Amino acid sequence: MYAIFETGGKQYTATAGDVLFIEKLDVEPGQEITFDKVLAVGGEGETTFGAPYLEGAGVTAKVVKNGKGKKITILTYRPKKDSQRKMGHRQPYTKVEILAVNGAGKKKTAKKAAPKAEETAE
């Protein structure tokens, strides 16, 4: 069984046992977290999609570590002005191991507006 969930403005596909590098979370290593913004759950020939999220579905994960990615070097310069600047950046991340995918969710139904009675002025 797999799930597509959202965290940190990005979407991830996960199955039990996967290790993912996601946007940094304020969680200590060793703790378990549950992602409840599940967009879709699939497996065994059946896929369920949410509108936008599945109610009751979740992805349970254990935080392995928090860290920073490889350094990216940025060089900005202005041609013909003898001006340049060298900068670096390391993106923080959280490494998580997916423990379980709970796909017992139901679709959230969007409330439809009641049809307006059209009044004819005659």
End-to-end CA distance of the chain: 60
Q: Are strands 38-43 and 46-49 parallel, antiparallel or unpaired?
A: antiparallel
Closest by CA position to 96, among listed 49, 69, 68, 60: 60
Amino acid identity for residue 88 in this structure: G
Q: Encode pLDDT of 34-89 as tens digits.
A: 999 999 999 888 889 998 899 999 999 999 999 999 999 999 999 999 999 999 99
Whether the full predicted model's pTM is greater than 0.85, yes or no, is no
DSSP 24: -
